[in-house]
Amino acid sequence: MPPIMAPFATIKCPSCGEAAKFAFATYQIFKKNDEEYFRKSKDFEVFRGQHSHGSFYHAALYYPGLGNSLENINDLPEDYKPNMWRHPYWYVTLPKELENTGSIRCSSCLIQRKHSLNWPNDAYFQITYKGKVLWAFDRKYTLKLLSYIESKERKKRIVGYSGKPWNTIYSQDWFLRHIPEHFQSAKARPEIVKKLKSILQM
């Protein structure tokens, strides 16, 4: 798993092999009093976790694409808003025990179910170059990757910064800043460009 993962990724559908959309689950710790609601709800799954200092907590897990969409959940107990289960701008904040937990939706074979992500093996947009795998989260990132590998300038920069380290806007640049050197030589360029274009069907 890369140190920062996008909340959504395009993966090879385990059922038909076409491109399917994976979304990480999101979770919220809830108060003991609200346990009954979350246990009964068809939109959430109760997860019992343990804090690093040892005490236990209960959290409500939400799987995007399964059950009701957040906009349509309107019976939450007081103090909860559907938005609490929305993904942050671009990173995933699941605890260690849940780090691969999410759901997939495939528009080819129409499966819709929970999926434990095996990244980068699951990546739909991946190529190999001299024994190593180069991957991208989805088509959009693959296009960014292609233009980066194709260009001779190889610009790497952070596109936005709000003043707080945890609010740095990494956008595609985080991704581009972490491409191993293995894929960045001038010699590697023609083969990688060709392979990327092929998976992009360009």
Contact 132, 3 (CB under 8 A): no
Distance in Å, CB of 122 to Zn ion, minimum: 13
How many residues touch Zn ion under the rule CB under 5 A: the total is 6
Q: What angle do CA 110, 17, 26 make, to 5 degrees?
A: 60
Interface map 12-51 toward Zn ion (x if CB under 5 A): -x-xx-----------------------------------
Q: Which is nearer to Zn ion, 76 or 117 (CB)?
A: 117
Choice between 39 and 113, CB closer to Zn ion: 113
d(CA 18, CA 40): 34
Candidates 11-19, 51-59, 81-89, 177-185: pick the segment binding Zn ion (CB under 5 A). 11-19
Nearer to Zn ion (CB atom), residue 118 or residue 147: 118
In the shown chain, the binding pattern of residues 122 to 161 toward Zn ion, with x for contact by CB under 5 A and - for none, equals: ----------------------------------------
Cα 181 to Cα 134: distance, rounded to the nearest angstrom: 11
> Helix, strand, or coil here: 102?
strand
- 102-140 burial by CB neighbour count: b if 16+ within 10 A, else e? bbbbbeeeeebeebebebbebbbbbbeeeeeebbbbbee
C-beta of 157: minimal distance to Zn ion in Å? 37
> Which candidate, 165, 192, 170, 168, places its Cα nearest to that of 181?
192
> Angle at CA 88, nearest 5°, toward 146 and 199?
20
Q: How far is the CB of 14 from Zn ion (least distance, A)?
A: 8
Q: Which residue in 33, 108, 116, 151 binds Zn ion (CB under 5 A)? A: 108
* Amino acid occupying residue 157: R
Residue 106 vs 196, nearer CB to Zn ion: 106
Q: What is the footprint of Zn ion within residues 78-107 (CB under 5 A)?
A: 106
Q: Which residues bind Zn ion (CB under 5 A)?
A: 13, 15-16, 106, 108-109
